[in-house]
Protein backbone atom coordinates (compact mmCIF):
# COMPACT_ATOMS: atom_id res chain seq x y z
CA UNK A 1 0.00 0.00 0.00
CA UNK A 2 1.30 3.47 -0.91
CA UNK A 3 1.72 6.01 1.87
CA UNK A 4 -1.03 8.62 1.76
CA UNK A 5 1.50 11.45 2.30
CA UNK A 6 4.92 12.43 1.03
CA UNK A 7 7.24 15.27 1.95
CA UNK A 8 9.13 17.56 -0.38
CA UNK A 9 11.00 20.82 -0.20
CA UNK A 10 8.94 23.89 -1.08
CA UNK A 11 10.22 25.83 -4.07
CA UNK A 12 10.27 29.54 -4.95
CA UNK A 13 6.84 30.58 -6.17
CA UNK A 14 5.00 28.67 -3.43
CA UNK A 15 5.10 31.56 -0.95
CA UNK A 16 1.37 32.23 -1.31
CA UNK A 17 0.53 28.59 -0.57
CA UNK A 18 2.76 28.69 2.51
CA UNK A 19 1.26 32.01 3.65
CA UNK A 20 -2.30 30.71 3.30
CA UNK A 21 -1.54 27.54 5.27
CA UNK A 22 0.07 29.40 8.18
CA UNK A 23 -2.68 32.03 8.32
CA UNK A 24 -5.40 29.39 8.20
CA UNK A 25 -3.94 27.31 11.03
CA UNK A 26 -3.38 30.34 13.26
CA UNK A 27 -6.88 31.69 12.51
CA UNK A 28 -8.53 28.36 13.35
CA UNK A 29 -6.65 27.89 16.65
CA UNK A 30 -8.73 28.37 19.79
CA UNK A 31 -7.99 31.74 21.43
CA UNK A 32 -6.38 30.11 24.48
CA UNK A 33 -3.88 28.30 22.20
CA UNK A 34 -2.79 31.41 20.24
CA UNK A 35 0.17 31.82 22.62
CA UNK A 36 1.45 28.43 21.40
CA UNK A 37 2.08 29.85 17.95
CA UNK A 38 5.27 31.87 17.60
CA UNK A 39 5.49 32.95 13.96
CA UNK A 40 5.09 36.65 14.55
CA UNK A 41 6.53 37.97 11.30
CA UNK A 42 5.36 35.78 8.44
CA UNK A 43 6.51 38.30 5.83
CA UNK A 44 10.05 38.16 7.20
CA UNK A 45 9.95 34.35 7.26
CA UNK A 46 8.80 34.26 3.63
CA UNK A 47 11.47 36.79 2.61
CA UNK A 48 14.10 34.58 4.24
CA UNK A 49 12.61 31.58 2.39
CA UNK A 50 12.93 33.39 -0.95
CA UNK A 51 16.55 34.23 -0.07
CA UNK A 52 17.14 30.59 0.99
CA UNK A 53 18.01 31.58 4.57
CA UNK A 54 15.06 29.47 5.69
CA UNK A 55 14.09 26.13 4.17
CA UNK A 56 10.47 25.06 3.95
CA UNK A 57 9.19 21.51 3.60
CA UNK A 58 5.67 20.55 2.58
CA UNK A 59 3.70 17.44 3.49
CA UNK A 60 1.45 16.59 0.56
CA UNK A 61 -1.51 14.23 0.41
CA UNK A 62 -1.42 11.97 -2.64
CA UNK A 63 -4.59 12.23 -4.67
CA UNK A 64 -3.79 11.21 -8.21
CA UNK A 65 -0.46 9.44 -8.39
CA UNK A 66 -1.09 7.23 -11.39
CA UNK A 67 -2.47 7.76 -14.86
CA UNK A 68 -5.28 5.65 -16.29
CA UNK A 69 -2.81 2.86 -17.13
CA UNK A 70 -1.57 2.57 -13.56
CA UNK A 71 1.77 4.20 -14.40
CA UNK A 72 3.24 6.50 -11.77
CA UNK A 73 3.01 10.20 -12.69
CA UNK A 74 5.92 12.60 -12.13
CA UNK A 75 5.38 14.60 -8.92
CA UNK A 76 4.94 17.82 -10.96
CA UNK A 77 1.90 16.34 -12.75
CA UNK A 78 0.09 15.05 -9.69
CA UNK A 79 -2.96 16.74 -8.32
CA UNK A 80 -1.91 16.46 -4.69
CA UNK A 81 -2.98 18.78 -1.90
CA UNK A 82 -0.90 20.40 0.84
CA UNK A 83 -1.36 18.97 4.33
CA UNK A 84 1.32 20.67 6.40
CA UNK A 85 4.58 22.57 6.35
CA UNK A 86 7.74 23.02 8.33
CA UNK A 87 10.33 25.83 8.41
CA UNK A 88 13.97 25.10 9.17
CA UNK A 89 16.59 27.81 9.78
CA UNK A 90 20.39 27.73 9.94
CA UNK A 91 21.13 30.53 12.45
CA UNK A 92 24.93 30.47 12.27
CA UNK A 93 26.52 32.75 14.85
CA UNK A 94 23.54 35.10 15.07
CA UNK A 95 22.47 36.37 18.48
CA UNK A 96 19.15 34.52 18.22
CA UNK A 97 20.84 31.10 17.89
CA UNK A 98 19.06 28.87 20.42
CA UNK A 99 22.40 27.30 21.36
CA UNK A 100 23.18 30.40 23.42
CA UNK A 101 20.57 29.21 25.97
CA UNK A 102 22.67 26.12 26.70
CA UNK A 103 26.03 27.92 26.55
CA UNK A 104 27.33 26.36 23.34
CA UNK A 105 30.81 27.39 22.24
CA UNK A 106 31.18 29.33 19.00
CA UNK A 107 32.15 26.09 17.24
CA UNK A 108 29.01 24.31 18.49
CA UNK A 109 26.79 27.29 17.58
CA UNK A 110 27.84 26.76 13.95
CA UNK A 111 26.34 23.25 14.11
CA UNK A 112 22.87 24.36 15.30
CA UNK A 113 19.74 24.10 13.16
CA UNK A 114 16.48 25.69 14.28
CA UNK A 115 13.57 23.35 13.82
CA UNK A 116 11.20 26.25 13.44
CA UNK A 117 7.49 26.54 12.72
CA UNK A 118 5.46 23.44 11.89
CA UNK A 119 1.80 23.55 10.91
CA UNK A 120 -0.53 20.73 9.96
CA UNK A 121 -3.95 21.52 8.55
CA UNK A 122 -6.74 20.28 10.86
CA UNK A 123 -8.12 17.73 8.41
CA UNK A 124 -4.69 16.04 8.18
CA UNK A 125 -3.86 15.80 11.88
CA UNK A 126 -3.39 12.40 13.48
CA UNK A 127 -1.02 11.06 10.79
CA UNK A 128 2.25 12.01 12.53
CA UNK A 129 3.00 14.68 9.93
CA UNK A 130 4.69 17.13 12.31
CA UNK A 131 7.23 14.49 13.35
CA UNK A 132 7.72 13.32 9.78
CA UNK A 133 8.27 16.87 8.55
CA UNK A 134 10.89 17.42 11.26
CA UNK A 135 12.69 14.13 10.58
CA UNK A 136 12.72 14.48 6.80
CA UNK A 137 15.80 16.77 6.49
CA UNK A 138 17.90 14.99 9.16
CA UNK A 139 20.05 12.92 6.79
CA UNK A 140 20.89 15.97 4.68
CA UNK A 141 21.65 18.05 7.78
CA UNK A 142 23.90 15.36 9.26
CA UNK A 143 25.81 15.08 5.97
CA UNK A 144 26.30 18.87 5.98
CA UNK A 145 27.87 18.73 9.46
CA UNK A 146 24.98 19.99 11.58
CA UNK A 147 24.67 18.11 14.85
CA UNK A 148 22.33 20.09 17.12
CA UNK A 149 18.65 20.30 16.17
CA UNK A 150 16.80 22.77 18.39
CA UNK A 151 13.25 24.05 18.53
CA UNK A 152 10.92 25.72 20.98
CA UNK A 153 7.48 24.67 22.11
CA UNK A 154 4.97 26.16 24.53
CA UNK A 155 5.01 24.06 27.74
CA UNK A 156 1.24 23.44 27.50
CA UNK A 157 1.30 22.34 23.85
CA UNK A 158 1.27 18.60 24.54
CA UNK A 159 0.78 17.79 20.84
CA UNK A 160 4.01 19.45 19.74
CA UNK A 161 5.82 18.22 22.85
CA UNK A 162 4.79 14.68 21.96
CA UNK A 163 5.93 15.15 18.35
CA UNK A 164 9.36 16.35 19.48
CA UNK A 165 9.78 13.60 22.08
CA UNK A 166 8.63 10.88 19.69
CA UNK A 167 11.62 11.57 17.46
CA UNK A 168 14.24 11.89 20.19
CA UNK A 169 14.17 15.49 21.42
CA UNK A 170 14.45 16.42 25.09
CA UNK A 171 13.88 19.63 27.06
CA UNK A 172 17.22 21.38 27.70
CA UNK A 173 16.02 24.83 28.84
CA UNK A 174 12.78 26.53 29.86
CA UNK A 175 12.07 30.24 30.00
CA UNK A 176 10.50 33.23 28.27
CA UNK A 177 11.07 33.97 24.57
CA UNK A 178 9.34 35.76 21.70
CA UNK A 179 8.18 38.78 23.65
CA UNK A 180 7.63 37.05 26.99
CA UNK A 181 5.96 33.79 25.89
CA UNK A 182 6.86 30.69 27.93
CA UNK A 183 8.83 28.14 25.93
CA UNK A 184 10.62 24.83 26.41
CA UNK A 185 13.76 24.48 24.32
CA UNK A 186 13.91 21.02 22.77
CA UNK A 187 17.15 19.52 21.48
CA UNK A 188 18.18 16.46 19.53
CA UNK A 189 21.78 15.65 18.69
CA UNK A 190 22.52 13.85 15.45
Strands 5-9 and 81-89: unpaired
Please give the domain boundaries of the chain with CATH numbers for all domains: 5-189 (3.40.630.30)
* CA of residue 177 relative to chain centroid, distance: 18
Query: How many Å apart are CA 163 and CA 152, to the nearest integer?
Result: 12
Tell me how far apart the alpha carbons of residues 175 and 190 are, in angstroms, rounded to a whole number.
Answer: 24
Give all strands (DSSP E) within the chain, no chain letters. Answer: 5-9, 54-61, 81-89, 112-120, 148-153, 170-177, 181-189
Confidence (pLDDT) at 73: 55
Give dist(CA 152, CA 150) in Å, integer: 7
- Contact indicator for 190, 139 with CB cutoff of 8 Å: no
- Between helix 15-28 and helix 42-50 the angle, nearest 10°, is 150
Q: What is the pLDDT of residue 76?
A: 56
> What is the sign, positive or negative, of the torsion defined by CA atoms of 159, 38, 164, 115?
positive
Q: What is the pLDDT of residue 63?
A: 78
Question: Is 0.85 surpassed by the pTM of this model?
Answer: no
Q: What pLDDT, on the 0 to 100 scale, is given for residue 48?
A: 81
What integer pLDDT is reported at residue 96 of this predicted model? 92
Report residues of the chain scoring pLDDT below 50.
1, 66
Residues 162 and 126: their CA atoms lie apart, in Å, by 12
**How far is the C-alpha of 164 from the C-alpha of 176, rounded, in Å?**
19
Amino acid sequence: MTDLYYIRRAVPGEEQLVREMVIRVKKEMPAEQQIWFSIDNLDEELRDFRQEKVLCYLAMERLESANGNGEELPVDNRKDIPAGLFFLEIPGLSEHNLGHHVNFSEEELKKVVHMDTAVVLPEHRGHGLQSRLMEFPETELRAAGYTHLMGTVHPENRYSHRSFEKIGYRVVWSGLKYGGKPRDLMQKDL
